[in-house]
Amino acid sequence: MASRRAVVVGGAAFAALGAWGPERAGLRAGQHTDTSNPAPSPPSPILTFAPRYIAARDGTRLRTAVFEAASPRGVCVLLSGQGEFIEKYVEVIGELKARGFTVATFDWRGQGGSARPLPDPLKIYVRDFAEYDDDLASFLDQVVKPIAHRPLVLAHSMGGHILLRRLHDRPGDFRAAALTAPMLALQTRGYPLWMVRTVPAIYGALGQADDFAWGMDRDPLTVDFDHQLCTSDRARYARTRRIIAARPSLRVAGPTWAWIAAAWRSMAAIAAPGYAEAIRLPALYAGAGRDRVARVEVGRRFAAQLPHAAYVELKDAQHEILMEKDSIRARFWTAFDAFTARLA
């Protein structure tokens, strides 16, 4: 019989309406207190590594990295979300290494240190999510498979979405998966669903698919904490801004109409009857109760349909669970440790 466990951490969930935008927040744990008040900023973290560049199957240049644990118990593949980059995950990489996992990660096409498809490097653009499938397949073939057989995978938001596509279409790559707020359905901020789905197609028909979507030209260097949608942790958000201020080429602003149209097509495919039930990998699914980017109730239903998934809802977390306050992150890592212990 399928095994399902559901835990709502701390009570009922709350999901406020929000807008889709680049996933931004910060880094490195244990250097500030868990408080809603502004915290003193720790020294800017530095992630020193020698990236390896690979070519995806269509020739797109991808930036990858492997961070070796001192006494490895295995490999964990780390898949970031829309608009993110390797350096942002310095804290998470350190926490995984401390747990004995060598970490293999990369930047999706169009963000971080990977190739940008448009003359304006701040625009997030793909014609179809099959391009991201190409990125993941190329990364697994060239970087992961030579060092690990069926590793663990930890994926956030868009990274979780693309992972679910892989788990459905090509099972067998991973031993188990942990997902944080995977992108299954987006908040529409009060706009009717028919409009959100139709407008990108109209702009595409007009030859403007590579334009920024309405309100998405949001340079993260100019978006302050009070106007972002992804974390309640001021210090971590500030640290990420300092990283991109030091390396502005890592940043993106927001999605184009083409990206949004491709995202809706892919989300519709994942929402099809029987899709979740076909993914039989052991999984930990962490939902963010105060998510203003993804619809937590859709994720909750999807997790219940996964045959071998444990669901944990962090009621006070915003979208970027791994970039949240210490108390929220601690609850996630407790669930993660229990999940990985059962795999031993």
- DSSP state letters, 178-190: EEES--SSB--TT
Reported for 330-335, long-range contacts at CB under 8 A and 24+ positions apart, including other chains, are 331/9, 332/180, 332/286, 333/95, 335/7, 335/284, 335/286, 335/310
pLDDT of residue 35: 36
pLDDT of residue 176: 98
Using a 10 angstrom Cβ sphere, with 0-12 exposed, 13-18 middle and 19 or more buried, the burial of residue 324 is buried
Helix 130-139 × helix 158-169 angle, to 10°: 80
Is it the case that residue 276 has pLDDT exceeding 60?
yes
pLDDT of residue 208: 97
Model pTM? Answer: 0.88
Which band of pLDDT confidence, cut at 50, 70 and 90, is reported for residue 191?
A: confident
Higher pLDDT, 244 or 188: 244
Taking only the tens place, the pLDDT of each residue in 242-253 is: 999 999 999 999
Which band of pLDDT confidence, cut at 50, 70 and 90, is reported for residue 45?
A: low
Task: Mention every residue, 6+ apart, whose C-beta is less than 8 A from residue 150.
Answer: 172, 173, 174, 175
Mean pLDDT of 252-278: 97
Cα separation, 167 vs 309, in Å, equals 13
Cα separation, 336 vs 333, in Å, equals 5
pLDDT of residue 27: 29
Cα separation, 122 vs 104, in Å, equals 25
Mean pLDDT of 107-121: 98
End-to-end CA distance of the chain, in Å?
A: 21
Chain centre to alpha carbon of residue 125: 16
- DSSP state letters, 31-91: SS---SSPPPPPPPP------EEEE-TTS-EEEEEEE--SS-SEEEEEE--TT--GGGGHH
329 φ, ψ to 5°? -65, -40
- DSSP state letters, 132-147: HHHHHHHHIIIIITTT
Is it the case that residue 31 has pLDDT exceeding 60?
no
Is it the case that residue 144 has pLDDT exceeding 70?
yes
227 φ, ψ to 5°? -115, 10
Is it the case that residue 326 has pLDDT exceeding 60?
yes
Is it the case that residue 13 has pLDDT exceeding 60?
no
Cα separation, 84 vs 92, in Å, equals 13
Task: Mention every residue, 6+ apart, whose C-beta is less than 8 A from residue 223.
Answer: 24
Is it the case that residue 142 has pLDDT exceeding 60?
yes
Length of the chain equals 344
Yes or no: is domain 3-343 CATH 3.40.50.1820? Answer: yes
Contact 298, 184 (CB under 8 A): yes
Cα separation, 292 vs 192, in Å, equals 16
- Report the percentage of the chain scoring pLDDT > 90: 81
Burial per residue of 221-247, b for 16 or more beta-carbon CB atoms within 10 angstroms, e otherwise = eebebeebbbbbbbbbbbbbbebbeee
Mean pLDDT of 300-322: 97
Cα separation, 131 vs 140, in Å, equals 14
Mean of all residue pLDDT scores within the chain: 88
Is it the case that residue 41 has pLDDT exceeding 70?
no
Taking only the tens place, the pLDDT of each residue in 74-97 is: 999 999 999 999 999 999 999 999
For residue 125, give the amino acid letter: Y
pLDDT of residue 37: 38
Helices (H) and strands (E) in the chain, counts: 8, 11
Which band of pLDDT confidence, cut at 50, 70 and 90, is reported for residue 117?
A: very high
